[in-house]
Amino acid sequence: MSTKLYSYLFFFFLLSSCSTHKVSKPSSALKPTFNVVEDSLNLVDVSRKRSVPVALYMPKSDKKIKHQKVVIFSHGYYQNRGGSNKAYSYITEKLATEGYFVASIQHELPTDDLIPTSGVPQIVRRPFWERGAENIHFVINELKKTNPDLDFKHTILIGHSNGGDMSILFAHKYPDLVDKVISLDNRRMPFPRVNHPKLYTLRSSDQVADEGVLPTSEEQVKYGITIIKLKNTIHNDMDNNANTAQRKEINDYILKFLE
């Protein structure tokens, strides 16, 4: 074989190799992360004569974020303590860094009655869940007025404990207004057995849901409901009490479900 022909063949081989080689882009190039802007609203539901404070966590961006999804977060019960809607900032801030518009609702006010500690929870606590579901409904409607470009067709609810019960009740009452619901260890309000909205729950290692709240194995398969057991996280460590490892595990599961 002549030297000239060998050179041509070698050059052709190099071209072929280059055309089929795929260079993996770093994940940051595929999906940027954002700095977080925090704000607060003190909305007033005139029809119910009720103040509804809201903490906002938003991605800071010079450009409009297309198809930006909305997350409505509902805190657990803190005996009407103010600022409860900021007690899960490791979740709400993380979601904002990923491009989500997050509204965390303060459900209880100092003037509200405390939740009863005796009686059948599904009966004595139901009015509090109803109020929470209506808070969520009100905030979504208010955000639609002020932020019409957000993707409300794929609204996401996340709630811990009592806030999880509110979120699950909302899925019963307004299934067409929510796309996905994530319960962080709600224990009382039974899950709707439906294919939509999509339901997902992270369960603590120390608390057990009441009978009938969680779907059976067969129902999980039938309706596509996902249940994840957190072996190293107790119920009361799902807010900002969570340590670094717990925070990462919970956020990783949430973001995976939201993909």
pLDDT at position 31 is 67
Q: How confident is the model at residue 28 (pLDDT cuts 50, 70, 90)?
A: very low
User: What is the mean predicted confidence (pLDDT) over 29-54?
Assistant: 91
Q: Which residues contact 221 (CB under 8 A, 6 or more apart)?
A: none
Q: 16 pLDDT band (50/70/90 cuts)?
A: very low
Nearest to 94 by CA among 162, 34, 158, 164: 34
> Alpha-carbon dihedral of residues 218, 219, 223, 224, nearest 10 degrees?
-60
- Band of residue 10 on the pLDDT scale cut at 50, 70, 90: very low
DSSP H/E element including 12: helix 3-20
Q: Report the DSSP pairing between strands 198-203 and 180-184.
A: parallel
CA atoms lying within 13 Å on the CB side of residue 133 = 21
Segments in 112-243 forming alpha helices (H): 121-124, 126-146, 162-173, 217-223
Q: Which domains does the chain have, with CATH numbers?
A: 34-258 (3.40.50.1820)
Question: Which comes out higher in pLDDT, residue 125 or 19?
Answer: 125
Tell me what pLDDT residue 18 has: 35
* Helix (H) or strand (E) segment spanning residue 11: helix 3-20
DSSP 85-104: GGTTHHHHHHHHHTT-EEEE
pLDDT band, very low/low/confident/very high, at 15 (cuts 50, 70, 90):
very low
* pLDDT digits 0-9 by tens, 201-256: 999 999 999 999 999 999 999 999 999 999 999 999 999 999 999 999 999 999 99
In this predicted model, which residue has the larger pLDDT, 14 or 176?
176
The answer to whether residue 9 scores a pLDDT higher than 50 is no
What pTM value is reported for the model? 0.88
Q: How would you class 238 by CB atoms within 10 Å of its CB: exposed for 0-12, middle for 13-18, buried for 19 or more? A: buried
What is the per-residue pLDDT across 158-186, written as a single tens digit (0 to 9) for each? 999 999 999 999 999 999 999 999 999 99
Question: What average pLDDT score do residues 7-13 get?
Answer: 39
Q: How does pLDDT run across 109-165, given as a tens digit for each residue? A: 999 999 999 999 999 999 999 999 999 999 999 999 999 999 999 999 999 999 999
